[in-house]
Structure 1
Amino acid sequence: MDDPTRFEQLVQFRAPTGLSEAIDGAARLKWQSKSEYIRQSVIVRLKADGIDPRQFAGVA
């Protein structure tokens, strides 16, 4: 499960109706928390778009 002390920055966004429930379902299928599912999904998308998230580590 997620360790809340491991991640320092909070990111929030508004979503269309039903998206939160869809994410819950997908996360359950992968035995992940909702937060971990979203983190991994965003990382995969960033890499697909040619962005390495590690290059921003420690940047405020």
Structure 2
Amino acid sequence: MGNTYWISCPRCGYKHFIKRRKDTVLINFPAWCKGCKKEYNISIRAKEPEFESLS
């Protein structure tokens, strides 16, 4: 699985926030960070993720 990598949490920098492949597409995906105990609404359409805090 050399084409996968981890996206860090936008708030606390927790390194294992979301695992993603190059072809991953997420739209309004609710993701919970174990590090800062916050939920984020994630959209990944291209190469860069977009984050919106839900809490």
Superposition TM-score, scaled by structure 2 size: 0.23
Q: TM-score, normalised by structure 1?
A: 0.22
- More strand as a share of residues: 2
Higher helix share: 1
